[in-house]
Structure formats: C-alpha cells, structure tokens
Structure 1
Amino acid sequence: MFEKTRDIFTHLIHPILFMYLAASYIPSTTTSLLSPLQLNILLSPSAFVCPSNLPLDQEEKQKEIWFARFWAIYGPELQKNTSPTVAPLLQRVHGIVLDIGPGSGEWLPLLPKNRITKIYGVEPNKDHHAALRRKIRECGLEGVYEIVPVGIEDLEEGGWIKEERVDSVITLFCLCGIPRPREMIGRLYGMLGEGGVWVLYEHVRVREGRWVGWYQSAMNLFWPHFLGGCELRRDTGRWVKEAGPWSQVELVQPVNEPEYQVVPHIQGVLVK
C-alpha cells in the first residue's frame, strides 16, 4: 500500500517538477539575449511566462528561444527513454515522409534510411534548425532531409510539398503544441496517400470519469506557458481516428502507464 501511495505521489508531482525544470532555463535564455541585436526581444514586461501587450511575434519569439534551449537538453533524454517503443514504429515509415515538429532531430537515427526517398522536416521554430542540421549530417541524410521552416497550415499554400501525396507522416510529441489541432490533423490526413502510414506517439487527455482528469486540468492552466504552448488535455487519438477512413488502426496506451498517469500517452500506426 505504501509503495502504491508513493508511486501515485510521484506521478502527481511530476508535471510540477517538469515545469520547474523548464523554468530553470529562463536565466540562460535571458543571458543569451543580452546582445544589441536581441535586446528588443528581451526588454519586455512579459518576461517569458505571462501574457502581455507585446506584439505576438515578439512574445512568441521569446518562448521559442527558451523552449529550444530547454528541448536541446531534454529532447535527447526523452528519445533515449522512449526509443525502445518508438523505434519499431518508425520501421513502418517509407517513401516520401512528413516529419512534423522534429525539433533538434532526436529521432533521425531511428529512421529506416533504405526505405525513404525524401523527408520534409516541418519545424517552424528556427531556433531548432542549427541542431537539426547537425543531426542531419550525422545521420547521413543530407540531400534527403529538407527542413521546412513553416507550420502545417502553410505546407501546401507555400508550395513546400511538391508531391500531391506523401507516403508517411511522423508525429512524435508534437501534436500537443500545434495551433488548431483538429484542422491540422485533417490537413495531414489529406496529404497522406492511399496505403500511407501515420506513425504516432503523443501524450493525451486522461479518459473521462477519472479523478486524475481534474488534476490534469489544473496542471494544464500552467503547463502551456512553461512548455512552448504544449497542451495536456488534447484528445489527439480520437481526432486522428476521426480525420478520415483508415484501413488499419493500431493505437494503444503504453502498458507500463498506470491509471493515475497524469500525462498518459497513445502510440501506434494508422494506415490509410
């Protein structure tokens, strides 16, 4: 009984500790902005967490720099902890690939290069691009992997995706932070060709009727401000399933996650 109580407490305190960890990167980010060219980003009443009267692009730029610095450290740790589960899923990827929100490129080493002809890495946060380029070189993907510096909403309109359809979509820990998620998920479904695969590993909202859902809702009041706009309460699994008809759906919650998991996940592959 004591062991379970301690485990529940650990899961409940984890989101708070994670937000504290993210906040610890504010001082180093502030220091990095102490240059004549970036003082206009730093000198604002909003700092990094609270809403302000700043122009949206300036306020968001602050958060992008902060989150990029944080993710450069945490992203590889996340990859190391979840790669035993994610690696087999990525072996289903093939052909022309849309890699949504690749960040610093933590997952690139797990991609089956012999099955891929082209990868479009859709990463609008330019503060990730330097690290992503290094990872592309390390993985021997130069000429195959193209960084696309826009959001999903601008892929077709901006002419970035020349092909009418793609063969694979990868979304790993990214759909929690995109704007207008249901609309963007629908757009990604439309870009996926018949027989194409969607590889997914995302955190989602707690299932209805569970007491921990109330706690997750409370945490979500603060979480997006510390984690680059990430949302805890998105019903991503259902939205992807409802994006259109699928010939195959293999989505499950990781078996090692207890019922009191504050940040539960969903993983798997869908085939169009």
Structure 2
Amino acid sequence: MTMLEIIFIDRSPSKLLKLTDLRYRSFARLWTNNGEAMTVEMPGPIDELLSKCQGIVLDIGPGSGEILPRFNNSKIVTMYGAEPAAPLHPGLIRNAKKAGFGDKYIPLLCGGEPESLIPALHKSGILGQSGTGGAGESGVFDEICCVRVLCGVPHPKETIKGLYGLLKPGGRMVICEHVVNPWRTKGRFAARLSQFVFSVLGWSFFLGGCEMQRNTEQYLREAGEWSEFKLEYVGAKDAVPFVVGELRKKSA
C-alpha cells in the first residue's frame, strides 16, 4: 500500500529507491493501524518492570507511544524516546501528553544505533559536546527500555554495547524482545523452521527491518558486565518467542 501511495498519490516513484525512508513509512502505516491492538497484551512481567522505571529514562523505539501508560510518570524525571520513524512522532507526542508526561517527555528523531542516537542525545543537551560523555562507561541514564525494538536495529551487537555504555553504573535495562527460537533447549524445531520460512518469505522487508532470528540474549550478555541478568523465555515453543526481564549494570 505504501508503494502504491508513493507511485499514484505522491507521484514520486524515485522515492522507492530510498529504502530506509520506505521502510519507516511502511512500518508507520502498519503500526498506526495495528499498534494499539498489538500492545493490549504484552508478554511476561513487562508491565510490572516498566512501572518501576524511575529517574532519567531512555526508551528505544517507542513507536507512537502506546506503552507509555504502563510507566509511572511520577517516578520519572525525564524520558527520552528515540524513534526513527518521523510519521509516528505526532502520535508519540500526543500519547506522551495523554499519559501525563507533559514536558518530561523528549522525543528524539533517531534510532538506537550509536551513529544515530549519540548525535541526537548531544543535540538534546543530555550529553556533553566532547563526544565522550555517555558514550563511555560513566553513562547518563538510570534506566534504558527496549521493548520489541532490538529485532529491528542495524548492527545489533554494536547497538546493544552502545546502550550499555549509556547506562549509569548500577542502572537497569528493561528488556522485552522476540528472539530466535531456542529449539535446542527450551523451544521446538518446528517453530525454528517456521522462523526460517517466514524470513525467506520477506518478514524483515515487510515489517520494517524486523529480524526473527536474532540471538539477542547472547548480544546482551556480551555487551558488558552485569551484576544482575534476569531474563525469562515467554512462549519458548512458539515461532515468535520472547525474552523478558531486567538487567543491572555492574557498579563501578
């Protein structure tokens, strides 16, 4: 539908060659029409984990803000929402106000990968201009939330390591991500095979760069030193299993 809109309504077929913009625009259409329904029931204990967020929070890939009511805004000093899809920002700002955040919510037009996120954080003023603050081990965020977003970030290993660097020592990372099926241990071979088939049929292309077969748990373990690493599988035998939980960065 997005491709047809570009050709027959915008009359700008050259836009089809801008694959990143096409991906974001297509995903924005999908999320605008289905995001609220897809957020009614969330896997595992994610609601409880989000309700405990406090201090200065970074939310990666908030979409149009459907999960914002799950936070307790009275505990949050400032929340930064890094969302690369510009068409989703009006809804994000509207839902942030509706959830009672007011001026405490700062939307950022960027992704979670360091080359996009760090400049946006510098521009917002939370990082110093030296290029080291926040990008190093000291960190600036009390909490970082990744809810159904790490499946679609470019260079997931580097992105997760960059997020680890932005977290304060002792800071918490909240995770709710669908991952590769753990068919050798807790999962099923049939579900793992389904993931492969869906991927071949174009899952990533049609769902905004989402990858079904990422070993996100391993990437998180390798990102740095954690004092707590509590992740549980939800729907381990399904074609779209999740890991849900919280990680705490080792204190200095």
Same fold (TM over 0.5): yes
Residue of structure 1 equivalent to 2:137:
none
**Structure-2 change in CA distance of 1:252 and 1:155 (3 Å):** same
Aligned position for 1:247: 227
Equivalent in the alignment of 1:198: 173
Alignment partner, residue 152 of structure 2: 177
Larger Rg: 1
Question: Do the aligned partners of residues 161 and 244 (structure 1) sit closer, same or farther apart at CA in structure 2, a change above 3 Å counting?
Answer: farther
TM-score calculated relative to the size of structure 2: 0.84
- 2:24·2:84 contact (CA, 8 Å) conserved in 1? no
- TM-score, normalised via structure 1 length: 0.78
Letter in 2 for 1:176: C
1:33–1:121 Cα change, 3 Å: farther
The alpha-carbon deviation at position 59 of structure 1 amounts to: 2.5
5+ residue gaps, structure 2, are 128-133, 135-139
How many matched pairs? Answer: 229
The residue aligned with 1:155 is 117
**Bigger CA drift: 221-230 or 69-78?**
69-78
Q: Aligned residue for 1:88?
A: 48
User: Structure 2: how far apart are the matches of 1:64 and 1:168?
Assistant: 26
Deviations 1:196-254 (A, max 9, x none): 11011000001253423233122112110110010000001111122111111110012
Unpaired stretches in structure 1, ≥5 consecutive residues:
1-25, 47-53
Provide the secondary structure at the position in 2 that maps to 1:89. helix
Aligned-pair CA distance for 1:161: 5.7
Within 5 Å, give how 1:32-71 maps onto structure 2: 34-35=8-9, 38-40=10-12, 43-44=13-14, 54=17, 58-71=18-31
Shift of 1:120: 0.7
Residues 15 and 22 in structure 2, CA contact (< 8 A), matched pair in contact too: no
Counterpart CA distance in 2 for 1:201 and 1:116 is: 20
Could you say what secondary structure the match of 1:268 adopts? strand
Partner of 1:236: 216
Q: CA RMSD in A?
A: 2.1
CA change 1:135–1:218 in 2 (3 A) is same
Contact 2:44–2:244 (Cα < 8 Å) also in 1:
no
Secondary structure of 1:201's counterpart equals strand
Cα distance in structure 2, aligned partners of 1:197 and 1:143? 23
Match of 1:50 in 2: none
Corresponding residue SS for 2:218: helix
SS where residue 132 of structure 1 aligns? helix
* Equivalent runs, 1:97-176 vs 2, <5 Å: 97-152=57-112, 153=114, 154-158=116-120, 159=122, 160=124, 162-163=126-127, 164=134, 165-176=140-151
Contact 1:123 1:148 in 2 (8 A): yes
Is it true that 1:73 corresponds to 2:33 in the alignment? yes
CA distance in 1: counterparts of 2:125 and 2:54, whole angstroms: 16
Larger displacement relative to structure 2 (117-126 or 65-74): 65-74
Structure 2 partner of 1:30:
4
Contact 1:155/1:161 (8 A) holds in 2: no
User: Contact (CA 8 Å) 2:179, 2:243: kept in 1 or not?
Assistant: yes
- The question of whether the paired residues in 2 share the 8 Å contact of 1:97 and 1:168 is answered with yes
Mean alpha-carbon deviation: is it higher for 107-116 or for 79-88? Answer: 79-88
- Shift of residue 108 of structure 1? 0.5
Q: State the percentage of identical aligned residues.
A: 33
- The corresponding residue for 1:263 is 240
CA contact (8 A) 1:92 1:197 kept: no
Aligned AA (1:131): G
Q: Which residue of 2 aligns with 1:18?
A: none
